[in-house]
Amino acid sequence: MKPGIVRGDSPLLLAQPHGGTDIPEAILARLNSHGLERADTDWHIGRLYADLVDDVSIVSTPIHRYVIDANRDPADQSLYPGQNTTSLCPTTTFDGTEIYLPGQAPSTDEIRQRQHQYHQPYHDALRDELERIRQKHGYVILYDCHSIRSLVPYLFDGRLPDFNIGTNGGSSCDASLEAAVQQICAAADGYTAVTNGRFKGGWTTRHYGTPEQGCHAIQMELAQRRYMQESPPWSYDETLAAGLRQQLARVLAEIQYLY
């Protein structure tokens, strides 16, 4: 279960840490019905972003976030202290419901092993691609692709805006990149947008976002209602997705050669 890597020639890299649905059989057998549902997947994220612009690089993982969350600090430090969230190896859903059968949650040793087997290879691949692109262009733009259900009371109040832009309070990228994405999303007819709201960027954005060293990182958390059914069977909606893809294509085209 190696990371997926697509190498492009442009300065833009799309990271997709939560689109995978693979769960090894030994772990799958320990999940309860809530875990088996895989409700917290970034469903269809690869399909949603496919072929929006040419020459982009993509790094993804086939592993489901219930095995290990590739967008969490490997030391398992909370990204949002004082707020409900999930851990490096989640034991609950985004609704706070247990996902393991009684007594089957991973031990500290198992979490360490999963980090070595699944989390580290994804970030090794991501780091290598970022450096390859930075060496080629003198800079790199890391765009972290995410999506989530619109209503998750355990994590946030009310209904989530359609576009949730995260730059860790403006520190993970140059201000011009943040402004370019904000402008397109705010102007998108019929869509809502917020910057550094409930989602300010995960570990990927915060860890790699070093604009002073030429790595500009930005996270886009999309409300799933804008392109799919937010309940089982989690179906992709071609009509809804077409409108969202048009807006995303504008974003990527604008930032791809921003510098």
- How far is CA 81 from its chain centroid? 19
- For residue 223, give both structure tokens: 């409300």
pLDDT, tens only, 50-109: 999 999 999 999 999 999 999 999 987 877 877 778 899 999 999 999 999 999 999 999
Residue 255 has pLDDT above 80, yes or no: yes
Q: Please count the structural domains in the chain.
A: 1
pLDDT, tens only, 213-241: 999 999 999 999 999 999 999 999 999 99
pTM to 2 decimals?
0.96
Residue 102 CB-density burial (10 A; 0-12 exposed, 13-18 middle, 19+ buried): exposed
CATH code (residue 207): 3.40.630.40
CB 84 within 8 A of CB 96: yes
The DSSP string of 119-135 is IHHHHHHHHHHHHHHHH
Residue 140 has pLDDT above 80, yes or no: yes
What is the domain range of residue 63? 4-256
Q: What helix, strand, coil percent values describe the chain, rounded to 5? A: 35, 20, 50
